[in-house]
Amino acid sequence: MSRNDLSIILHLFLGSARLQKKRAFLTIASIAWGTVTILLLLAFGEGLKRQFARNEQAMGTNLAINWPGETSKVWKGLPEGRGVKPRIDDIPLLQQRMPDVQVWGEMTSSRTLMQYARKTVNARVIGPNWVYGDPRKHYPVPGGRFLGPQDEEQKRRVVFLGYELAEDLFVKENPVGKTILVNSSPFTVIGVMQRKTQTSAYGGQDKDHAVIPITTFRALFGRDKLNVVVLHVENEDDMEFALQRMNQFFAVRYSYDPRDERVFGTWNTVKGQRISAKIFLGMEMFFGIIGALTLIIGCVGVANIMYAVVKERTREIGVKMALGARRGWITGPFVLEGLIYTLLGGLAGGVIAILIVTVLGLLPLEDMKVMEFLGKPTLSWPIGAATVAILGTAGLLAGFFPARRAAAIDPAATLRYE
């Protein structure tokens, strides 16, 4: 196509576009509506996904929680059904065996009496190894800290509080540095957990419990059997192998068949993460399809109007052909019209969607329980790119088919006087 062709097409297009402002406006509005719909659906989907992932990951990611149980196979003359009960001292040995994996044990005491001043509360106390803090996302509010290696070594009487438990005990007071009684023994509060919305947990929500060093726990409650053994890997693909090695370690130590997979009841969060990733991908595709369909309705509207225009201007097209218009000069303005309508509609829709998402983003999240789970609608570059691609294709097609019909017009047939 030469520059001459372009200038002729532009001339013809400008001649026809200015004549039908109302029609153009309505067409653009329908495209804008479709664009807003697809963008908002995808933005809500993205926000929901991110918020859900954040909430689900509030417990931590790439974790395997292992509850000790009983053997289910006979082994070296020993019967099945023997209990396997790992102890605190197994953990350093296991950690030595697999230095690439983070390992810790936890002991739990539910409904334990805690007192501060005249307030008394029954709550869960967890005694884990100090490494627990980061992978389990127990981040302290500024001014406090989580447990450290010295606390464990020296069996210090220090406690880290979940934020709701801290509120129950202290109301508005700052708990850090204060002394509370846990099971009638005095403990110093060294930190309070930052707020987080948590949707998965074992034993209970993190915000409700108190965490003390595992060694202190043993001394306080006189137990050394672990309730759970937890593994944390950096890369989710390493989890299967880590679990195998753990089982082998305990199989030797407690004399059971290393192929016995029933000894530990295991919750491998990697599997869950993978499933929810798939679920959310499916959900986004679903939203995307609904949005795309809405947008396509808009484009069908454009095509429909352009078909009507072609039909209405059949004679006009015939006249132009008789006067020497090439087919491309007839189809060009139609394709251009379709593209410009979708472009303007897409732009308007994009601006509206961005405005809505921005306004929703300004609303405070904390005050609304629903929003804690729904999240905020989020627009991302892939969403934008997908929308532009759909719009562009649809716009081209919306102009192309009517234009093809226009080009097929036989000038000789239209020019006869009726």
| Cα atoms in the Cβ-side hemisphere of radius 13 Å centred on 136 | 29
What does the alpha-carbon distance between residue 370 and residue 55 come to, in Å, rounded to a whole number?
A: 13
The nearest distance, CB 336 to other proteins, in angstroms, is 16
What does the alpha-carbon distance between residue 378 and residue 367 come to, in Å, rounded to a whole number?
A: 19
The nearest distance, CB 305 to other proteins, in angstroms, is 17
Nearer to other proteins, 10 or 74 (CB): 10
Nearer to other proteins, 319 or 396 (CB): 319
Q: Name residues contacting other proteins, limited to 12-71 (CB under 8 A).
A: 12, 15-16, 19
3-state secondary structure of 125: strand
Amino acid at 89: D
The nearest distance, CB 289 to other proteins, in angstroms, is 41
**Distance (Å) of CA 121 to CA 140, 142, 149, 160, 198:** 21, 25, 28, 15, 22
3-state secondary structure of 3: helix
The stretch near other proteins (CB under 8 A) out of 10-18, 101-109, 140-148, 367-375 is: 10-18
Nearer to other proteins, 16 or 276 (CB): 16
Task: Return the closest-CA partner of residue 158 out of 146, 140, 174, 172.
Answer: 146
Strand partners, 185: 182
**String of contacts with other proteins for each residue 253-292, x by CB under 8 A:** ----------------------------------------
Nearer to other proteins, 8 or 340 (CB): 8
Q: Tell me, what DSSP letter sits at residue 365?
A: S
Structure tokens at 244: 């195998």
H helices present in 200-266, as ranges:
214-221, 239-253
Nearer to other proteins, 209 or 313 (CB): 313
What does the alpha-carbon distance between residue 83 and residue 67 come to, in Å, rounded to a whole number?
A: 11
Nearer to other proteins, 76 or 416 (CB): 416
Q: Give the total of residues touching other proteins (CB under 8 A).
A: 28
361 phi and psi angles, rounded to 5 deg? -65, -25
Q: Which of 6, 11, 14, 380 contacts other proteins by CB under 8 A?
A: 11
Task: Return the closest-CA partner of residue 31 out of 405, 359, 289, 292.
Answer: 292
CB contact burial 398-418 (16+ within 10 A = b; e otherwise) = bbbbbbebbbebebeebeeee
Nearer to other proteins, 11 or 278 (CB): 11
The stretch near other proteins (CB under 8 A) out of 4-12, 42-50, 153-161, 245-253 is: 4-12
Q: Does 415 bind other proteins (CB under 8 A)?
A: yes
Nearer to other proteins, 275 or 322 (CB): 322
What does the alpha-carbon distance between residue 378 and residue 360 come to, in Å, rounded to a whole number?
A: 10
Q: Does 404 bind other proteins (CB under 8 A)?
A: no
Nearer to other proteins, 8 or 297 (CB): 8
**String of contacts with other proteins for each residue 308-347, x by CB under 8 A:** -------xx-xxxxxxxxxxxx------------------
Structure tokens at 177: 């540095």
Q: Name residues contacting other proteins, limited to 182-211 (CB under 8 A).
A: none
Q: Does 172 bind other proteins (CB under 8 A)?
A: no
Task: Return the closest-CA partner of residue 137 out of 212, 190, 238, 62.
Answer: 62
The nearest distance, CB 308 to other proteins, in angstroms, is 15
The nearest distance, CB 5 to other proteins, in angstroms, is 10
Binding-site ranges for other proteins (CB under 8 A): 4, 8, 11-12, 15-16, 19, 315-316, 318-329, 410-412, 415-418
